Amino acid sequence: MAVLEGKVVAVTGAGRGIGREIALAVAKEGGAVLVNDFGTSADGEKASDAPAAGVVKEIEAAGGKALANFASVADPAGAISIVEDAVSHFGRIDAVVNNAGFLRDRIWHKMSAVDWQQVIDVHLNGAFHVSKAATPYFKEQRSGSFVQFTSTSGLLGNFGQANYSAAKLGIVGLSQSIALDMERYGVRSNCVAPFAWSRMIATIPTDSPEQKERVEKLKTMSADKVAPLVVFLASDLSREVTNQILSVRKNEIFLFSKPRPIRSMHRSEGWTAETIARDLVPAFKSDFYGMDRSPTLIDWDPI
């Protein structure tokens, strides 16, 4: 039997790229799919019904079950409609995949409050709104899975993405607390950080040979490689997996660490700024983190 037979999965941002591949994979594994996409460009402009509607046609043509929803996840009422459409049309909701997003990259000193707010609204607030809408159903049926999309830009940092990085790391905090609060009801929440070529990644500049080389490597990591992990997390096969941060890079799957204390230093009489500088910093300095990003921390070719 297909691993999602009888399940209903809502996938946000499912009209293109990674979201589309997830929706197709869910349907292939027997799940009914609520295909949500506001249909904007990579920078959040010009909404359209066409992307979501097109994916629904693809799924139905292959014999699957799907329904389109065109709401913005940043709108609380729109987020509720995603879940309510799934329940009213298919009778239940079993998993939510919070994949919707766009970029508004700006170097920090040029980032506007609008750039900040719009990215936070879609990524972080959108994940909150859709997750919150599904929670009463998950709680009542004592089962359910949240798959929250984070990014190495949030986990490790990146140039020109303070808004996106903050939203994506915020999603990790959201997911962890959901996992802890909802464990008693048999509900799981996990994060996925994808490495995959998409229209958002296509905005990476290629002004230097190093940047061009990086982009060429990214092009080898197709979006469909992310879908099997999401299918697994949405299915009952993952019943013992919650509160984790996983990542897909072509044919590799990573488990990411979380912040934990790694050093401690005690001073019985308390600390001053001077003793911190004189005693603590030299002791801790070998364990301080550098200015690393994913290209330097994960520097081998995709396999």
pLDDT at 216: 75
Q: Sign of torsion, CA 71 242 174 20?
A: negative
Domain ranges of the chain: 8-255
- Measured CA distances, 66 to 22, 58, 219 (Å): 13, 9, 29
Task: Quickly list H helices, 91-125.
Answer: 113-120
How far is 107 from 161, CA to CA, in rounded Å?
Answer: 7
pLDDT confidence band for 180 (50 / 70 / 90)? very high
Q: Who's near 175: CB < 8 A, 6+ residues apart?
A: 146, 148, 150, 189, 190, 191, 243
Q: How far is CA 128 from the centre of its chain?
A: 12
Residue 206 is predicted with a pLDDT of 65
φ, ψ of residue 133 to 5 degrees: the values are: -65, -35
Cα separation, 135 vs 288, whole angstroms: 39
> What tens digit of pLDDT does each residue of 255-290 get?
999 999 999 999 999 999 999 999 999 999 999 999
Q: Kindly state the tokens that stand for 52.
A: 């979501």
Q: Residues 46-59: what's their mean pLDDT?
A: 94
pLDDT band for position 220 (cuts 50, 70, 90): confident
Asked whether the predicted pLDDT for residue 187 surpasses 70, the reply is: yes
Residues counted in the chain: 303
What is the token pair recorded at 278? 């004189």
Average pLDDT of every residue of the chain: 94
**Is the pLDDT at 143 greater than 90, yes or no?**
yes
More confident residue, 45 or 44: 45
CATH class belonging to 8-255: alpha beta
3-state secondary structure of 147: strand
Tokens 């979201």 correspond to 19
How are beta strands 65-69 and 245-249 bridged, if at all?
unpaired
Residue 164 bears catalytic tag: yes
Q: From start to end of 169-212, where are the E strands?
A: 187-195
Provide the β-strand partners of residue 192.
Answer: 149, 246
Q: Residue 48 corresponds to which amino acid?
A: S
pLDDT at position 201 is 61
Confidence of residue 176 (pLDDT cuts 50, 70, 90): very high
Catalytic residue among 137, 164, 185, 289: 164
The lowest-confidence range among 102-116, 178-192, 195-209, 267-281 is: 195-209
Per the listing, tokens 């009209």 go with 15
Residue type, 252: E
Question: Which band of pLDDT confidence, cut at 50, 70 and 90, is reported for residue 8?
Answer: very high
pLDDT tens, 194-214? Answer: 998 766 665 666 677 776 776
